[in-house]
Amino acid sequence: MFELIKQSSASKARRGELKTTHGTLQTPFFMTIATKGAVKALDVNDLKRNRVPIILSNTYHLLVRPGLDAMRRRGGLHKFMGWGGPMLTDSGGYQVFSLGKMRKITEEGVTFKSHIDGAVVELSPEQSIEMQQAIGSDIMMQMDVVLAPDVPRIIARDAMEQSIRWAKRCKDYLNSHRDHSMTKDQKLFGIVQGGIHEDLRKRSVDGLVELDMDGYAIGGLSVGENPEDNLRVAAYTASLMPSEKVRYFMGGGKPEEIVAYVKMGIDMFDCVIPTRHARHGSLFVWGGKVTPALLNEDDFYSKIIIQNAEFEDLDEPVDANCDCTLCTNYTKAYIHHLFDMKEPLAERLATEHNVRFYMKLMETLREGVEQDVI
């Protein structure tokens, strides 16, 4: 499934290929968020034009609506949304965590109230896999227990152990129900938990490696931890992961964080930042000509708030170093005007720009590994 192609001599960064049913992915890569089966403001042609290699959708939201049966009737999410490329589905653990008092966690699974109509929904590790099979994602994530970063160590330990048990249940169910999948040869990743405690992280890695998962994700580091803890725990955890398997940092994040994580030897990333920021007029701008060496600079990018008055009369591209639709066809003054008038086109162009920025970031990181610059 994963083949290591190049190890950088400048850091622990690496280049590889991840083979999936719907295509081969060049690592490291970033997954654009399509939570409910769509990237907000973009269609699949926009994604293809901006060289988006893989999208991420969410099991929780698709379970609530349109639901398991509807997804099966439509032949899976690839057919439903017209996307022919690879897809990863999150199990929904983070979304259930975010429900707070609206959810209850037991050994069997989680019970929660739908954010749509308040209906009580039960989700077990087995049901999570069943739903992900109906969605037909190329990569499924195990169901895990996500906790706040400040919980007592004993609670973090118990949640980590429960996540290992749930990983086994997920894998056992998948292995006994392979013929139920909308996509052949679906892969299942384990999620390393343990909070900010290194010994718990090691125990989690050991437990998941014993199960021989198809890949390993670093979870629980995008729910409120401080940046220093994130970097420390991520570096330690990545060092424990098998080199022959792909490594995924869940929910990270900012461009400078992704560069740091790639240098730790992490291969996969996702975050809502590029699309969410775009909808609020926050646009990423390169700090110069885009080369691998630029990414080693502290100021390799900046952000502008395009609604600010300073852009009202600027007849120049948002970023002369960007090749997206916005930057090659329109001006700062025009996109400022679109946001000012609340035109839907504003969100579309801004989202495409930020997504293209992230794709160019990953392309340049891969180039940097090849050149031993990153």
Convert the pLDDT of each residue in 305-364 to its tens digit: 999 999 999 999 999 999 999 999 999 999 999 999 999 999 999 999 999 999 999 999
Asked whether residue 290 falls in the same domain as residue 169, the answer is no
**How far apart are the C-alpha atoms of 241 and 323, rounded to whole Å?**
36
Asked whether residue 16 falls in the same domain as residue 95, the answer is yes
**How far apart are the C-alpha atoms of 156 and 361, rounded to whole Å?**
34
- 100 pLDDT above the threshold of 90: no
Last residue of a domain, one of 271, 296, 324: 271
Convert the pLDDT of each residue in 352-364 to its tens digit: 999 999 999 999 9
Convert the pLDDT of each residue in 34-72 to its tens digit: 999 999 999 999 999 999 999 999 998 998 899 999 999
Q: Which residues contact 290 (CB under 8 A, 6 or more apart)?
A: 321, 360, 364
Residue in 214, 267, 270, 319 annotated catalytic = 270
Asked whether residue 30 falls in the same domain as residue 48, the answer is yes
Q: Quick check: helix, strand or coil at residue 283? A: strand
Asked whether residue 303 falls in the same domain as residue 364, the answer is yes
Q: Quick check: helix, strand or coil at residue 242? A: coil
| Structural domains counted in the chain | 2
Note down the domain range covering 348: 278-370
Asked whether residue 258 falls in the same domain as residue 308, the answer is no
Asked whether residue 245 falls in the same domain as residue 319, the answer is no
Asked whether residue 146 falls in the same domain as residue 25, the answer is yes
Q: Is 270 a catalytic residue?
A: yes
Asked whether residue 258 falls in the same domain as residue 321, the answer is no
132, two tokens: 């992900």
CATH code for the domain in which residue 68 is found: 3.20.20.105
Residue in 90, 138, 144, 267 annotated catalytic = 90
Asked whether residue 257 falls in the same domain as residue 295, the answer is no
What pLDDT, on a 0 to 100 scale, did the predictor assign at position 249? 98
Last residue of a domain, one of 240, 271, 302: 271
Last residue of a domain, one of 271, 296, 322: 271
- 167 pLDDT above the threshold of 80: yes
Asked whether residue 267 falls in the same domain as residue 282, the answer is no
